[in-house]
Structure 1
Amino acid sequence: MTSSISPRRERLPLGVMAICGSAIAFDGYDIVVYGTTLSKLRDEWGLTSGQAGNVGSAALVGMFLGALVVGTFASRWGRKRTFLACVAWFSILMILCAAAPGPEVFAVIRFLAGIGLGGVMPLAAAFTTEFAPRDRAAVAYVIMQSGYPVGGVAASLLAKWIIPGFS
């Protein structure tokens, strides 16, 4: 008896799930790291609660926008190329966040990074479910998305170690 499943869908390549899960982990890291550094940022920049909320929301607004527009770019350039561009985009901008001279620039950089982060989420979901066997697509998706809390926990643990020693 021959299988009706294409060879590519017989089993999920672990590399696809690992790459997508890692990208999602950095997404979780980025969102949580702001909360772990907020008290130091408020002290250093003299942020009010409202300003701190605006800076924190900037990445989420960018993620919303990125998730909305990523389909257009994926249709034009292909999903793989768009995924890689989103990962490169948010990676560079996350590094630039460390050099932000003040809250306004920091918020703009976080917003721009959020666009890439928001683009990664639907593309990672599409890749994972596309390459997973039909009967395991939901499980593969949940495992891949578990990278988000892993990234958040990593941000918390790193902050616990880095902030006291390096401020």
Structure 2
Amino acid sequence: MEAKGTKLLLLIGTAWLFDALDVALLSFIMPVIKESWHLTGSQLGAVSAVTSLGMMIGALGCGYLADKWGRKPVMIMTLLLFSFGNLLLTIAPNVTWFIIIRLLTGIGLGGELPVAATIIADHFTGTRRARMLVLVDSFWAFGWIIASLLAFLVMPVLGWRLTVLLTALMGLYALLMRRHLPTSSAERSSNKRAFWPALRQVWSPEYRRATACLSILWFVIMFAYYGMFLWLPSVLVLRGFSMVHGFGYTVLMSLAQLPGYYLAAWLLGKVPRKAVLTAYLLGTMISAAAFGLATNTTMILISGAWLSFFTLGAWGIMIAFTPGQFAADARGMGMGFAQSIGRIGATIGPFLVGALMGMGLGISAIFMMFVGALILGVVVLLVGLHDQDR
């Protein structure tokens, strides 16, 4: 990869790194604020849900603005929102303000990823575009690892407020780096239409099928990912596996993602994208079923690592697959709309798991529900989408 491609990979990769860092760190902070602020289960659920709501708003709104104002200014704006939100979070006096600020932060985070993917799609084509998109998505794993280091090594010493402050400062550093983002031809001739005409464009006969199928796929993948991974610690504790609280387990689950990304990036140059994504979704199904049926530590570790490998790899392939379904003038809105529907799945998944567990449904049955959702995703992919690259 030449210097220009490497520079853009590092600059854009910060979007995924900070998104993962924030999501992971929030999962470590929530038990702390639950205890210190004496929160109820519904209040804690609201903290998680409002972040997903903000991400949904950000994905749709910033995707549209990236087509209208250009990719670079919107990308910088999303990081400013993230950094400013985390600065405010350090002085949140109670859970009400915490929830309000998390909505603001979520808008910045949700807006980042579709815009970041659009920038990569504007600058590369074909196999190189697909590989670059998977590689920038791999920065998600590094975000989780950094969050784990902060949670286990820094937060016990400095507390959650100063730990969040560190993430805000890292965001400002990345903002300085993004001053060097290039401007694409698509950005220079950006779409000046109002929101509703732009939304109608991605639902026009030209894009309607792709928009509908991609929205379903993003819903399924985010529903499965957030539903399974946010509940993994609780599921393991319920089954008596206390090792989930350890730093080593958390890092293992993060490291298992990296070969999944890198294998996907290599395969995208050898095998059609639909075939690679289908294989990864099938791998996610098998791993989810194995994890749901696991009865000992060895099975938990192996199936959990494979689940991380395939689920995050599938996410990366979807990042590579989506932008090519839209022409440059509709790419930001198309990517943003599909991911905003995905964020609905990210909200429903964890809540549904909690509700079903409360009703007495077993862990195995719950994980089979995710298998069923993934089967739907495979059918939509194979029947509804073409492997194209606009």
The percent identity for this pair of structures is: 33
Aligned equivalent of 1:114: 106
The runs of at least 4 consecutive aligned structure 1 residues that moved more than 6 Å come to none
Instruction: Render the CA deviation track for 1:12-65: whole Å, top value 9, x for unaligned.
Output: 622221111112110111111111112211111111122111112211110011
**Structure 1 gaps, min length 5:** 1-9
State the AA in 2 paired with 1:156: S
Q: Which residue of 2 aligns with 1:15?
A: 7
Partner Cα separation in structure 2 for residue 19 and residue 11 of structure 1: 12
The answer on whether the counterparts of 1:12 and 1:132 sit within 8 Å (CA) in structure 2 is no
Output the TM-score relative to the length of structure 2: 0.39
Matches within 5 A, 1:3-42: 13-42=5-34
**Which residues in structure 2 correspond to 1:5-84 (within 5 Å)?**
13-84=5-76
* Matched residue type, 1:159: A
Q: Note the C-alpha offset of 1:133.
A: 4.5
**In the TM superposition, what whole-angstrom CA distance separates every residue of 1:94-127 from its partner, at most 9, and x where no partner exists?**
2211211111111111111111111111011111
**Equivalent-residue separation in structure 2 for 1:116 and 1:104 (angstroms):** 19
SS at match of 1:13: helix
Which residue number in structure 2 is paired with residue 135 of structure 1?
127
Relative to structure 1, the CA distance from residue 164 to residue 11 in structure 2 (aligned partners, 3 Å threshold; closer, same or farther) is closer
User: 1:13–1:131: 8 Å Cα contact kept in structure 2?
Assistant: no
Q: What is aligned with 2:200?
A: none
Instruction: Please state if 1:155 is matched with 2:147.
Output: yes
Query: Is the Cα contact below 8 Å between 1:59 and 1:113 reproduced in 2?
Result: yes
**RCO higher in structure (CA 8 A, sep ≥6):** 1
Aligned to 1:3: none
Which shows bigger deviation, 68-77 or 28-37? 68-77
Distance 1:159 1:114 in 2: 20
RMSD across aligned C-alpha pairs, in angstroms?
A: 1.7
Cα distance between partner residues in 2 of 1:163 and 1:91: 19
CA distance in 2, matches of 1:57, 1:15: 35
**Partner SS for 1:151:** helix
Tell me the equivalent position of 2:80. Answer: 88
Change (3 A) 1:72 1:133: closer
- Partner residue of 2:275? none
CA contact (8 A) 1:24 1:148 kept: yes
Q: Which runs of 5+ in 2 are unaligned?
A: 160-390
* 1:132 CA displacement: 2.9
After alignment, is 72-81 or 44-53 more displaced?
72-81
How far did residue 163 of structure 1 move? 2.3
Supply the distance in 2 between the matched residues of 1:53 and 1:40 (Cα, whole angstroms): 14
- CA 1:125/1:12 → structure 2, altered by over 3 Å: closer, same or farther? farther
Letter in 2 for 1:83: M
Structure 1 distance, partners of 2:119, 2:3, is 13
Counterpart of 2:92 in 1: which secondary structure? coil
Equivalent residues of 1:12, 1:133 under 8 A apart: no
Change in 2 beyond 3 A, CA 1:11/1:19: closer
